[in-house]
Amino acid sequence: MPTVVQCFLRTATLGSIDELVDSAVLLASAAYLE
């Protein structure tokens, strides 16, 4: 899931804690669903 990874890294670069948490939740959810 390169797109998810890129989104996650981009959010981390922006330094937004809330968005970073949301991205982490989405990433965990995607991994769980697979």
Q: What is the pLDDT of residues 8-32, one digit of tens each?
A: 777 666 666 677 788 788 888 888 8
List the structure tokens of 3: 């797109």
For the question of whether the overall pTM of this predicted structure is more than 0.75, the answer is no
Nearest-angstrom CA–CA distance, 5 and 24: 10
pLDDT at 8: 72
Measure the CA–CA gap between 21 and 34, rounded to whole angstroms.
20
Q: How many domains does the chain have?
A: 1
pLDDT at 1 over 60: no
Structural domain of residue 15, as residue ranges? 2-33
- The confidence score (pLDDT) of residue 12 equals 66
CB 25 within 8 A of CB 4: no
Strands (E), 1-34: none
**Calpha distance 13→34 (Å, rounded):** 27
